Chain A
């Protein structure tokens, strides 16, 4: 069974440029998470989807970040415009979801963003 797929694996852009990350979760997983991980830190949640609905986006900087999960399967996270402080690893994870379910999280390899 394929795991969580993310692309690209690495991205280098100039500040003020836009950038987009793509994630395809494990088949059948209703819950999808985007996390940001700075060097030496644990992941911090940016947004969580239950199917196509964003149910927790309180930590998403909405002035420059946006996300979508059309049809409740794969998802795109966008930054426009990117700032120097956005340099980090962006991780996508998925879980089965639903109340009372096992809900083990599975992570993709991440996208390492460098903003110059």
Chain B
């Protein structure tokens, strides 16, 4: 079974700082990896999806990288803003089937 770990569990940074969130997985035979954002009491919003053949994806101030061989992905957030405060989750899809395995998330607080 795929194990997905996110470290740290919580992170607090001052506004304007660049930051990196980490996601690691045990089975490198992945099909893709997706990063989500979840605001309190809300569903998940897709941020970026990286296919197994890709090394990174960018959207605005967000950049996600993927290193399959080491079982790791990072989400880089540039020039953080208070509106970025949320829980960030990564989900890994294995090469077979459509099942996604989620990490437990990193709770980010950006202090004005």
Contacts and interface: CB of A to CB of B under 8 A. Distances in A.
Interface residues of B, number: 24
B45 interface: yes
Nearest to B6: A42
A97 B98 contact: yes
B98 A43 contact: no
Contacts of B43: 4, 6, 91, 107-110
Contact of A104 (B46, B89, B97, B104): B46
A31 B98 contact: yes
A14 B31 CA distance: 42
A50 B51 CA distance: 21
Interface residues of A, number: 28
B49 A91 contact: no
B44 interface: yes
Nearest to A108: B43
Given A42-B4, A42-B89, A102-B49, A107 B44 contact: yes
Nearest to B4: A42
A105 B46 contact: yes
Interface string A1-18: 000101000000000000
Interface of B: 4, 31-32, 34, 36, 41-46, 49, 51, 89, 91, 93, 97-100, 102-105
